[in-house]
Structure 1
């Protein structure tokens, strides 16, 4: 098991955003968290990646409690996040954005290899290498954000709404890329507004509502669940 979240409680000021959440991820899985806006999904991802500190509970990564660790240490340990809204660095080229993802790697040969792998996976980024990242399309920026995260050699990648705001033609491509990343050995925790797409590629999923896990099961079982269909799949 690569990640366990135990009795996680996270507050934003006086707001109790996450109310005792439990879930786990096995190495090599794609696991989805689905739920309405405000369910606590992004808060959970930010807490796992060290951007927020929980009020209580444990986050155990590769057998070690990490809930008090700072974000750079967690990146070094193998956890990378692709944030909602992409947050690429405008004014920097595609190449420079990717270099930012490798800022903790000291081995220049490894960085070179990572560039080669990212460009192989995202050929459009190679074509646009010298271009200002702000001039890319939404889909290309999402690929850049994913490529930047992969530059850090993650064992676990946290994806927050990767298809948000993308044209339909890019959405299928992004989900194919997620499957490909997973097939090459990276475990994936996915938050996605397109619950049908997310569950269709997930080994397992958890349904969150108002800061709590309400349902869990395999991706297939949750897709077939009448409650999930009614609330999230337009069924």
Structure 2
């Protein structure tokens, strides 16, 4: 079943067309990667799906319902949650306070606690540092906190914007294996990433964007093996 369907979506910033009639789908249970150079329109696509930007034409359906005119909070309520690029943790607040912001949908204390326990199981470092100011965490730990906070709202679909950006190689490996775990436990993932090799190696399917258009699609493996992709993105 298609969890997310984007159909002929275009986005303009003033006179500039950032996204040109893009169509793709994400099926339930998949990891789908959008790859492309900087400025290809990847972040704009995610921001439009999550309601932060309005498309100039085309549609976005989540679980069969049109959401392109919905507000961001409504979209989050339906189970579609984005981890923005650059981590965006709230400094001046503890790790715990950051996580609690993610569980605002749950009035039920018991339910919130159960979700928090699973987040701490997945990210033991956050439990160790729960009373520390989020500003004191390393880049990799802040990325884990941003992901943990998103998981607190129990998303059906997790949108990840450049999760490996600016991280040390050891953390990149760890973040990608966490993304796979989150997916195996039932969360569908749409991932945009500059690190094409890592993104495609965990993706069921991928789409390649160039200047606002999708120019190639295939399974993660097909795209990894494609000479065009190797030349353009994998240094081959």
Using structure 2 for the length normalisation, give the TM-score. Answer: 0.99
Query: Does the residue aligned with 2:60 lie in a helix, a strand or coil?
Result: strand
Using structure 1 for the length normalisation, give the TM-score. Answer: 0.99
Q: Distance in 2 between matches of 1:165 and 1:211?
A: 24
1:122 counterpart = 2:97: no
Residue 107 of structure 1 corresponds to 108
Query: Does the residue aligned with 1:73 lie in a helix, a strand or coil?
Result: helix
Residue 214 of structure 1 corresponds to 215
* Structure 1, unpaired ranges of 5+: none
Residue 68 of structure 2 corresponds to 67
Query: Does the residue aligned with 1:146 lie in a helix, a strand or coil?
Result: helix
Residue 144 of structure 1 corresponds to 145
- Deviation for aligned residue 1:5: 0.2
Q: Distance in 2 between matches of 1:49 and 1:114?
A: 23
- Deviation for aligned residue 1:104: 2.2
Q: Distance in 2 between matches of 1:105 and 1:85?
A: 26
Q: Distance in 2 between matches of 1:105 and 1:69?
A: 21
Q: Distance in 2 between matches of 1:70 and 1:109?
A: 28
Q: Deviations over 1:151-207 (max 9, x none)?
A: 011000000000110011101000000000000000000001110000000000000
Residue 226 of structure 1 corresponds to 227
Q: Distance in 2 between matches of 1:182 and 1:201?
A: 10
Q: Deviations over 1:44-84 (max 9, x none)?
A: 00011111111110001001100000011111100010000
* Structure 2, unpaired ranges of 5+: none
Q: Aligned residue pairs: how many? A: 235
1:45 counterpart = 2:36: no
Q: Distance in 2 between matches of 1:110 and 1:81?
A: 21
RMSD (Å) for aligned C-alpha atoms:
0.6
Residue 156 of structure 1 corresponds to 157
Query: Does the residue aligned with 1:2 lie in a helix, a strand or coil?
Result: strand
Query: Does the residue aligned with 1:44 lie in a helix, a strand or coil?
Result: helix
- Deviation for aligned residue 1:122: 0.2
1:93 counterpart = 2:75: no
